Amino acid sequence: MFKRFALGLVLIIIVIGIIFIALNILDIDEDYRLLLPIPVLNTVFIFAIAALVAYIAARSYTITGSMVILLLGGAALAFGAGSLFKSWASLGLDVTMTVDESAALIASILHLVAATVGTSQQRISNLEFRGKSGIILGYYLGVIACIALVILLVIQGVIPSFHVPGEGSSVLRVVVRRITAILFVAAAVINLITYYKSRTDFYYWYSLGLALFGFGVFFISQGAVESRVAWLGRTAHYVGGIYFLVAVLGAYRLASTKKVEVSPSW
């Protein structure tokens, strides 16, 4: 029942998003703005949840050796770090926006890799705890280092700004956002197929979260910062993060209790 409700919520968000985009095209209530503390909300519902997902994913990996779960943790960390930087850094909209969009692209790539790994049923379970801890530390530090490198390259102008003063989004930003959304949705489809083959709940929740992230990226790109469609996109990210959390919590609980044999696809 809960799984059907979660799926229904995804479909409702998508349908409402389509309606909002249609209203924007028809110029109906274009002056609508919802003024809420975006940095605070993004910190709580994106970064904090992403950090928790990364932590639980790491704990689960030490038990199961699942590369999918580990990759999910790093992808969540990348997305959360980009959101945190955009929310609180005082380096100008051109820098913060470019870093955030680049971090989202990196996260989508990692999620797609995780989805591909899930189909091949790869895990690393023969290592001792110390060996797995080293992999976790190296991977997570690598993700953070990658985001830090992006920040440096954006500040130095090596990566061109996605924001054009007086004009808004650049063509590059539009392209990056579309690629990011497509990669998220592609990863969602792959994980959904894996779920129907394995009937492992982890893949079900993971696929729903990815779908919400993909449509969230698309919806945010369709309106102004405080517009209804942009807020719907953020809501999709907030709910998607919760679905990621449900996925890794379920995987960790299943592995730690040892009540059910862990699937080799983990």
Whether the model clears a pTM of 0.85, i.e. scores above it, the answer is: yes
- Mean pLDDT lowest among 62-76, 221-235, 247-261: 247-261
Q: Which of 7, 6, 18, 3 is nearest to 215 (CA)?
A: 18
pLDDT confidence of 165, banded at 50, 70, 90? low
The three state secondary structure string of the chain is CHHHHHHHHHHHHHHHHHHHHHHHHCCCCCCCCCCCCHHHHHHHHHHHHHHHHHHHHHHHHHHHCEHHHHHHHHHHHHHHHHHHHHHHCCCCHHHHHHHHHHHHHHHHHHHHHHHHHHHHCCECCCCCHHHHHHHHHHHHHHHHHHHHHHHHHHHCCCCCCCEECCCEECHHHHHHHHHHHHHHHHHHHHHHHHHHHHCCHHHHHHHHHHHHHHHHHHHHCCCCCCCHHHHHHHHHHHHHHHHHHHHHHHHHHHHHHCCCCCCCCC
Q: What is the average pLDDT across 229-243?
A: 96
Of 12 and 199, more confident: 12
31 in any annotated domain: no
179 in any annotated domain: yes
Q: Report d(CA 48, CA 209) in Å as an integer.
A: 16
**Angstrom distances, CA of residue 140 to CA of 66, 125, 221, 222:** 15, 19, 28, 32
75 in any annotated domain: yes
pLDDT at 31: 67
Which domain does 200 fall in, by range? 36-257
13 in any annotated domain: no
266 in any annotated domain: no
Q: Report d(CA 186, CA 111) in Å as an integer.
A: 9
Question: How does pLDDT run across 97-121, given as a tens digit for each residue?
Answer: 999 999 999 999 999 999 999 877 6
Query: What CATH code is carried by the domain that includes residue 166?
Result: 1.20.1070
140 in any annotated domain: yes
Question: How does pLDDT run across 133-147, given as a tens digit for each residue?
Answer: 899 999 999 999 999
pLDDT at 254: 84
The two three-digit tokens of residue 139, written as one number: 């991977």
The three state secondary structure string of 91-124 is CCHHHHHHHHHHHHHHHHHHHHHHHHHHHHCCEC
235 in any annotated domain: yes
Of 266 and 225, more confident: 225
Q: Report d(CA 144, CA 94) in Å as an integer.
A: 21
- Mean pLDDT lowest among 42-51, 72-81, 152-161, 230-239: 152-161
> Apex CA 152: angle with CA 149 and CA 156, to 5°?
140
pLDDT at 167: 58
pLDDT of 264 strictly over 60? no
pLDDT at 232: 95
28 in any annotated domain: no
pLDDT at 126: 60
Question: How does pLDDT run across 10-60, given as a tens digit for each residue?
Answer: 999 999 999 999 988 887 766 677 778 999 999 999 999 999 999 999 999
Domain count, the chain: 1
CB atoms within 10 A of CB 182: 15
